[in-house]
């Protein structure tokens, strides 16, 4: 996502090197938007120029709690090696989580938070014996704008492989349509990026709004529960050629992510003298945590 990457780099650089003058996080009411159910209309609370008290931590907690209800989560070697770190400005906190499960190759999240920005990058990959989609939540919040991608990224092409599309997405179309009414399309994307998105992708931008945050949390929960249902029902593949194909598809996806959404490259140039780690004396190799 070229737009998201460039804006992320720009905002990280400007906010972490020279923090802007922020207003208070008090709320004002000046317009009307539909709530998540679509049944009523109520005042929209618009946050003033600050990322404010809003946090993506509850999204992470929900994902972990919901996963633990259904399967056994085991910390991956990356979780034992890296966890929480703080930038030298003393205000920016980075938290990383990395887990594995019987059907999950990797559940990993990265969150970055300070007064000016909130970032969540959470992804869950099935083991290559399963061709389930990749759960993806990329959320970027500043005082004036939110850039959101929430999807079950298809492992294989849903245009050329109609059987794969029907297998995983046919019954989820109503879910995607419901949230597309609440989150309008965010703008033009490259044809390369579109290949990695599903028919139910939420790609949107909106100004700070508590109602929208509540709706986003609702969408996150429903999409994640839908993914957990898919992986629970996914049959295990035993044909080595199909397993190899799934593994190659995940690698292709990760390569695209590394090229288009390179958070680490932005951090390297924007965190003043580089981050100081709480639990480790060495820097984190960028692709090591991304790929697991």
Residue 226 lies in a domain: yes
For residue 237, is pLDDT > 50? yes
Radius of gyration for the alpha carbons in the chain, expressed in angstroms and rounded:
19
What is the pLDDT, as a whole number, of residue 82? Answer: 60
Residue 174 lies in a domain: yes
Euclidean distance between CA atoms 262 and 113, whole angstroms: 17
Q: What's the average model confidence in pLDDT over 273-288?
A: 38
154-170 tens-digit pLDDT: 999 887 788 899 999 99
User: Tokens 């509540």 map to which residue?
Assistant: 214
- The SS3 of residue 22 is coil
Residue 287 lies in a domain: no
Number of domains within the chain: 1
Residue 13 lies in a domain: no
The CATH number of the domain where 137 resides is what?
Answer: 3.40.1500.20
pLDDT band at 114 (very low <50, low <70, confident <90, very high): confident
Q: Of 50, 131, 9, 83, whose CA–CA distance to 289 is shortest? A: 83
pLDDT band at 249 (very low <50, low <70, confident <90, very high): very high
Residues 6+ apart with CB under 8 A from 40: 34
Q: Residue 242: which domain range?
A: 52-281
For residue 41, is pLDDT > 80? no
């Amino acid at each position: 996502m070229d737009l998201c990457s460039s804006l992320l780099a720009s905002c990280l650089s400007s906010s972490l090197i020279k923090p802007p003058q922020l207003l208070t996080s008090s709320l004002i009411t000046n317009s009307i938007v539909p709530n998540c159910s679509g049944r009523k209309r109520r005042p929209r609370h618009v946050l003033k120029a600050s990322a404010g008290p809003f946090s993506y931590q509850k999204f992470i907690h929900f994902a972990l709690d919901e996963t633990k209800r259904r399967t056994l989560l085991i910390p991956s070697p990356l979780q034992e090696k890296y966890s929480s770190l703080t930038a030298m400005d003393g205000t920016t906190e980075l938290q990383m989580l990395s887990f594995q499960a019987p059907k999950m190759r990797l559940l990993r999240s990265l969150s970055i938070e300070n007064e000016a920005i909130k970032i969540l990058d959470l992804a869950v990959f099935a083991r290559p014996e399963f061709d389930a989609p990749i759960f993806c939540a990329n959320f970027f919040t500043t005082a004036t704008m939110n850039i959101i991608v929430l999807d079950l990224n298809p492992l294989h092409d849903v245009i050329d492989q109609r059987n794969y599309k029907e297998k995983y997405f046919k019954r989820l179309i109503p879910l995607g349509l419901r949230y597309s009414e609440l989150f309008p399309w965010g703008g033009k994307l490259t044809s390369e990026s579109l290949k990695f998105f599903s028919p139910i992708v939420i790609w949107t931008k909106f100004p700070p709004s508590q109602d929208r945050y509540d709706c986003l949390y609702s969408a996150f929960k429903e999409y994640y529960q839908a993914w957990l249902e898919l992986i629970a029902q996914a049959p295990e593949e035993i044909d080595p050629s199909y397993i190899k194909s799934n593994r190659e598809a995940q690698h292709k996806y990760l390569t695209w992510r590394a090229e288009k959404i390179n958070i680490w490259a932005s951090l390297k140039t924007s965190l003043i003298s580089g981050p100081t780690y709480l639990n480790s004396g060495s820097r984190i190799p960028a692709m090591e945590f991304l790929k697991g």
